[in-house]
Structure 1
Amino acid sequence: MTTYTIAFIGLGAMGGQMVRHLMAAGHRLHVYARRPEAAAPFVEQGAKGFATPAQAAADADFVVTNVTTTQDVEAVLLGADGVVHGARPGTVCVDHSTISAEATRRIAARLARQEITLVDAPVSGGPSRAADASLSIMVGAPRDVFDKVRPLLSVLGTTITHVGDVGAGQVAKACNQIVQVINIQGIAEAMLFAARNGVDQDKVIEAISKGLAGSRMLDMMGPKMAHRDFSAGIEARLHDKDFAMILDAVADAGLSLPALSLVKGQLTALMEHGWGHDDTSSLLRVLESQQKLH
């Protein structure tokens, strides 16, 4: 496999795991993080640390970003010290963040003026699947660009889908979040219903998990709720952020998605309870807090 110089921006729970896999594959890593201490472990392992995204991107073949919000992506790619001011023409930027599809297209157009190509490649699977390189990756890019970045993506994930042109990956990720979190809300309601009827929640999960109600989310979230393990797999605040963004896109499209709106309300309540850094299985606790005492 050809090895490249890759500038990686965003070294959190997901990004850090990705950097480890890329370094293990033999690529040369340039890293940038807002907190220098986040970059330090990777520098110790042989990556080069830089003070700004522009500096990290200066001699890179690819730039990879994995940050939290649309505004974060705009800042690291287009801001005063952003990638656009350092990357050379022909550089490909791969964004693994979950952000607005409309903003993605706008950022891509701005980068294109400098002959820099943007690929949106949001991921699903959370830190555990980032750790074992089994992420699902949804890609928006022209076909020839997708073919160029696929070898790198294959280092990070096992399901890599070319969804369409730039922005299509973010649309697919929004669909992923809609299905995923509405499912979690349904599991929470089922677990509360079982408990209030005096039925063992583990037995209910066992009874329904192999039928048509079975899902990966039930397998993950059902036991967490049954055993009141609300430690974060993916922090609920990230789902709240995603649902707010998706609701804006839904409104812009002139759509009404009632389940999406309802679950956003539950996520808002979750945040108000101070559970944003806990797991989204905390939707069960939100439901419990809303019940009238009989």
Structure 2
Amino acid sequence: MKTAFLGLGVMGGYMSANLAASGYSVNAWNRTSDRPGVKIALDAGANIVDSIQEAVTDVDIICTCVSDIPDVEAVILGENGVIHFAKPGAIIIDFSTIGSAAARHISQQLEPAQIQFLDAPVSGGDIGAKNGTLTIMVGGNEKIFETAKPILETMGKNIRYCGNVGSGQAVKLCNQILCSLNLVGICEAMLLAEKQGIDPNLVVEICSTGAAGSWALSNLGLKVAHGDFEPGFMIKHILKDLRIIQEMVNSDLPLPGTELADHLFKIVQKLDQGLGGNQGTQAMIRAYNRS
């Protein structure tokens, strides 16, 4: 199958590279051509193109991985979007996190053009994207999922069909609550270790093997301990996800833990003259010491 990959950011660059390295023909496009992900994709064998039209014309599978709902809609449904150039029967796999309602809306808009749609948000950060070990949560027609599964297997290790369109997004939003609250626990555990004169690295090493163990502790706990705030997943992106969650539940479902995590992330976002949101989510620790 011929493929296209649209969006070569922190995640998309590695994901498209794994797709190309697996032997697929990949037309890759990014809105900004000088991003590191563009070179990562190019070095892996992807064909870097200048437009969405050039990327998607006559391909079978079109992958998209961009930031927010307006970005996804612009890439897929916009004036120069996929909908105008993809052939009937093509499958779009969107790896962005946009919420169930947006996924269903996009799918409905694509139906008259006979373009299939799978929502397939991912978890695992840049490490999982680089290593091809992402967890991928997929919503859509199950037969279309089975057709696209070999593509997904080049990028992920844990690939789960969740149900109709929007179901992948629903599971991903639950995942984002867990990730956010895991970080609250990690930050406060690191602070308590410091107060007691305990090496935070020791806390990560020991607690990762017990009931408190998690991917977040093993991977982000060390970054918190070392003051490494380089982004695998940016604060501004988790804030977008938490915004979608809060808009969805409104006041019908109180989520005080989610509100706390949102508050802490927003404190960090305002640091560095408003550029704190470009740091990795582990920089939540800065909300406690404001440095």
Question: What is the TM-score normalised by the length of structure 1?
Answer: 0.90
- Give the 3-state SS of the residue equivalent to 1:163 in structure 2: strand
Q: Map 1:1-294 to 2 at 5 A.
A: 4-38=1-35, 39=38, 42=41, 47-251=46-250, 254-274=252-272, 275-289=276-290
Q: Distance in 1 between matches of 2:84 and 2:155?
A: 27
Q: Which moved more, 1:225-234 or 1:280-289?
A: 225-234
User: Structure 1 263/58 Cα, relative in aligned 2: closer, same or farther at 3 Å?
Assistant: same
Q: Which moved more, 1:179-188 or 1:236-245?
A: 236-245
- Give, in angstroms, the shift of residue 92 of structure 1: 0.5
Q: Distance in 2 between matches of 1:189 and 1:230?
A: 16
- Give the 3-state SS of the residue equivalent to 2:265 in structure 1: helix
After superposition, give the CA deviation of every residue in 1:193-244 in whole Å (9 maximum; x if it has no partner): 2222333333333443332222221122222222222222322222122112
Q: Which moved more, 1:92-101 or 1:269-278?
A: 269-278
After superposition, give the CA deviation of every residue in 1:1-43 in whole Å (9 maximum; x if it has no partner): xxx1112111112111122222222222222211234446756
The structure with the largest alpha-carbon Rg is 1
After superposition, give the CA deviation of every residue in 1:60-117 in whole Å (9 maximum; x if it has no partner): 1111101111111000000000000001111100001111210110000000111101
Q: Is the 8 A contact 1:53 1:77 kept in 2?
A: no
- Give the 3-state SS of the residue equivalent to 2:113 in structure 1: coil
- Give the 3-state SS of the residue equivalent to 1:232 in structure 2: coil
Q: Distance in 1 between matches of 2:162 and 2:229?
A: 33
Q: Is the 8 A contact 2:21 2:44 kept in 1?
A: no
Q: Which moved more, 1:51-60 or 1:158-167?
A: 51-60
Q: Which moved more, 1:94-103 or 1:16-25?
A: 16-25
- Give the 3-state SS of the residue equivalent to 1:36 in structure 2: coil
Task: Calculate percent identity across the aligned residue pairs.
Answer: 37
User: Structure 1 91/265 Cα, relative in aligned 2: closer, same or farther at 3 Å?
Assistant: same
Q: What is the one-letter code of the residue matched to 1:273?
A: L
Q: Distance in 2 between matches of 1:42 and 1:216?
A: 26
Q: Which moved more, 1:32-41 or 1:214-223?
A: 32-41
- Give, in angstroms, the shift of residue 44 of structure 1: 7.2
User: Structure 1 unaligned runs (5+)?
Assistant: none
- Give, in angstroms, the shift of residue 150 of structure 1: 0.6
Q: Is the 8 A contact 1:52 1:82 kept in 2?
A: no
Q: What is the one-letter code of the residue matched to 1:208?
A: C
Q: What is the one-letter code of the residue matched to 1:28?
A: S
Q: Distance in 1 between matches of 2:211 and 2:288?
A: 24
Q: What is the one-letter code of the residue matched to 1:60?
A: V
- Give, in angstroms, the shift of residue 179 of structure 1: 0.3
User: Structure 2 unaligned runs (5+)?
Assistant: none
User: Structure 1 63/260 Cα, relative in aligned 2: closer, same or farther at 3 Å?
Assistant: same
Question: What is the TM-score normalised by the length of structure 2?
Answer: 0.91
Q: Distance in 1 between matches of 2:147 and 2:222?
A: 41
Q: Which moved more, 1:159-168 or 1:275-284?
A: 275-284
- Give the 3-state SS of the residue equivalent to 1:113 in structure 2: helix
After superposition, give the CA deviation of every residue in 1:41-65 in whole Å (9 maximum; x if it has no partner): 7567654444332332121111110
User: Structure 1 126/100 Cα, relative in aligned 2: closer, same or farther at 3 Å?
Assistant: same
Q: What is the one-letter code of the residue matched to 1:20?
A: A
Q: Distance in 2 between matches of 1:204 and 1:272?
A: 29
